[in-house]
């Protein structure tokens, strides 16, 4: 993994963006320590939560726009696709990039540590499911999902996603959302402050310190998957695009309180099958 990707916590104020044409997440703030597949993961208020597949991140680059004087850090995969980007919003951060010769854009760690062991998703917990998506968008997992032994799983109607976001906004129920790009996942958690949708099926949600956008017209399938988490079996809505890749997950992360977890599970149980 590029050395620059390990130094994201050095920057104090960044606009971090992950996603693609179907789902996108945007948050301004500072990075929590990015986690790798197989490591522990937490979403903390006020911090940008990024999880990556270190083997899938090939290069980190610093892009400078002479016209606007903006500086953006980009993590790229082997195909040259941007999987995550962070625009430096403070002058101090922009100076840091220019003055720190130890953080060269393309440099890789001198000794690559062995990747953490990742539990099998077939009977793994919530984090094992997320890590399976990080490898290939979850395509192999979805194709073999008949082997899943972690809990309930069923297809549900795509249109319920907008209704779920509207409902949790109206009742003040906190949720967690993760958005995926190749080898990268950015997540947020908290209350949904406002939702909106366009005639074309694009849904927007202001959630905690983040903005989440989902193009429901580009979602081809939605699955409800239950897996073990901090409060016991926990439901997640997994949204797949036309290529069968999971682009977003709506769920609960970590310790949220028994009442919040129970309300989320009641809502998930009420969703009709596709």
Contacts of residue 199, defined as CB under 8 A and 6 or more positions apart, other chains included, come to: none
Diameter of the chain measured on Cα atoms: 56
- Comparing CA positions, the residue from 151, 129, 150 lying closest to residue 140 is 129
Question: Under a CB-based contact definition with an 8 Å cutoff, are residues 51 and 134 in contact?
Answer: yes
Distances (CA, A) of 22 to 14, 180, 217: 23, 10, 8
- Comparing CA positions, the residue from 120, 125, 121 lying closest to residue 227 is 125
What is the pLDDT tens value at each position of the chain, 274 positions in all?
556 667 899 899 999 999 999 999 999 999 999 999 999 999 998 899 999 998 898 888 888 877 777 899 999 988 889 999 999 998 888 888 776 443 444 445 444 556 667 779 999 999 999 999 999 999 999 999 999 998 889 999 999 999 999 999 999 999 999 999 999 999 999 999 999 999 888 999 999 999 999 999 999 999 999 999 999 999 999 999 999 999 999 999 999 999 999 999 999 999 989 7
Angle at 146 between CA 141 and CA 148, to 5 degrees: 65
Tokens of 63: 């892009």
Contacts of residue 249, defined as CB under 8 A and 6 or more positions apart, other chains included, come to: 130, 133, 177, 178, 180, 236, 237, 238, 239
Phi then psi for 118, rounded to 5 degrees? -105, 120
Token look-up 């809990």 returns: 151
Handedness of CA 96, 98, 99, 101 (dihedral sign): positive
Token look-up 């690559």 returns: 112
Domains defined along the chain, listed by start: 3-99 (3.40.1570.10), 121-269 (3.40.1570.10)
């Amino acid at each position: 993994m590029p050395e620059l990707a390990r130094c994201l916590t050095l920057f104090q104020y960044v606009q971090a963006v992950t996603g693609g044409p179907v789902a996108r997440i945007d948050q301004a703030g500072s990075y929590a320590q990015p986690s790798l597949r197989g490591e522990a993961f937490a979403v903390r208020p006020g911090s940008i939560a990024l999880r990556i597949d270190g083997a899938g991140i090939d290069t980190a680059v610093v892009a400078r726009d002479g016209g606007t004087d903006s500086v953006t850090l980009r993590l790229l995969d082997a195909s040259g696709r941007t999987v995550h980007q962070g625009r430096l919003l403070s002058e101090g951060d922009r100076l840091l990039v220019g003055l720190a010769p130890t953080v060269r854009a393309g440099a890789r760690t001198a000794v690559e540590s062995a990747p953490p062991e990742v539990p099998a998703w077939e009977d793994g917990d919530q984090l094992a499911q997320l890590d399976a998506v990080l490898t290939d968008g979850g395509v192999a997992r979805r194709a073999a999902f008949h082997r899943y032994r972690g809990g309930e799983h069923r297809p549900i109607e795509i249109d319920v996603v907008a209704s779920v976001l509207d409902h949790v906004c109206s009742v003040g129920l906190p949720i967690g959302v993760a958005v995926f790009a190749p080898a990268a996942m950015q997540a947020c958690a908290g209350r949904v402050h406002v939702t909106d949708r366009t005639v074309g099926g694009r849904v927007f949600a202001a959630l905690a310190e983040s903005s989440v956008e989902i193009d429901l017209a580009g979602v081809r399938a939605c699955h409800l998957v239950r897996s073990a988490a901090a409060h016991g079996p926990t439901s997640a809505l997994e949204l797949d695009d036309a290529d069968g890749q999971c682009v977003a997950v709506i769920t609960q992360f970590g310790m949220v309180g028994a009442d919040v977890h129970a309300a989320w599970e009641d809502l998930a149980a009420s969703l009709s099958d596709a």
